Amino acid sequence: MYMPFVTELGKQLYPRRGGGAKGGKSGSSGSSGSSGSVGSRGASVPVTGSTVGRTNAVSYGSGTTRVVTIPSGQLFAGRTSGGATRTDVYGNRFYGSGYPGVGGVGVAGRNFPFVYWPLIWGGGFGYGAVYLHNREYGDPNNSSRPGGPMAQAVISSQTQNTTFHIVADNSTVAALIESIAANCTIASNSSTVPVPFNAGQTDPLPEQAIEYYRASSVVLTLDGYNNTNALTAANENVSVADLPSNIDTTLLACLNDTIGEATPLFEDAGVGLRPSMGLLGLVYVVWCLSTLF
């Protein structure tokens, strides 16, 4: 299979493992990803923020096919939330990718197929294209963001001078740190807890992005990579800069697999009962109680 845009268009890079969490090498730092931990297969990941009633995502979850319209009085009322599954999670190197069935760059006015909001980049007009700096989703520390304020993790290679960053909401980064430690061989100086992402010039930058996931709510960046076309693109059909040849490609492949397979997704079971079911249950309980007296 092809890993979208991790090399120049049309070139095959690394096959993704089928089926999810198994495979890869044991991490050298952090948790082992044991059952019940936040990054383990099927683990529930508590998610705060504006989630339209959903409260828990699932590491390695399958996603939700249920689409709801955000009601009046809530943030982004009238837009839809949900409807995307694990098969839709991969994007490419351009901000605004990873939205099922939606092309083009930028995230302005879009729905939330994975419930999560897209990440935001810092800076302002004058640094890169306007599409990179849409501020309708607030600042990185916006507590209304599903999963909490934005955060990052540093993932370093044991064998080569290669450093990656993962940027997403806080709960997603925490879950992925543990999943990566369980699947990939990483250096001991890699993050074991999320670090705040402030969208500053010392944080990962949009031209360093090598893959977006989950409707551009998660991104993998590479220190030293400089895809300047990301700063000026009018669409996603422009060429991208090649990755450096001296990076740890084994770690890159493991990270791409793990993020794509393990990043938390909401599932249909987590949406809650429909009102009619709740009412029937209440009537049944009242009837049972009445028979005791």
pLDDT tens by residue, 161-177: 999 999 999 999 999 99
Task: Give the tokens for residue 79.
Answer: 């837009």
- Distance from C-alpha of 164 to C-alpha of 174, rounded to nearest angstrom: 16
- pLDDT tens across 248-266, in order? 999 999 999 999 999 999 9
* Count of residues in the chain: 293
H/E segment holding residue 163: strand 163-169
Band (pLDDT 50/70/90 cuts) for residue 127 is low
Q: How confident is the model at residue 25 (pLDDT cuts 50, 70, 90)?
A: very low
Tens of pLDDT, residues 205-231: 999 999 999 999 999 999 999 999 898
pLDDT winner (highest mean) among 5-14, 140-149, 262-271: 140-149
pLDDT at position 3: 44
Most confident residue range from 8-17, 38-47, 50-59, 150-159: 150-159
Q: What percentage of the chain exceeds 70 in pLDDT?
A: 76
Residue with tokens 């939700």: 64
Between CA 145 and CA 183 the distance in angstroms is 28
135-160: b (≥16 Cβ within 10 Å) or e: eebeebebebbbbbbbbbbbbbbbee
pLDDT digits 0-9 by tens, 87-120: 999 999 999 999 999 989 999 999 999 999 999 9
- The closest of 41, 30, 70 to 54, measured between CA atoms, is 70
Q: Is 155 helix (H, G, I), strand (E, B) or coil?
A: strand
Quick one: which of 127, 99, 130 has its CA closest to 216? 99
Residue 91 near residue 213, CB atoms below 8 Å? yes
Instruction: Say which residue the tokens 């540093």 belong to.
Output: 154
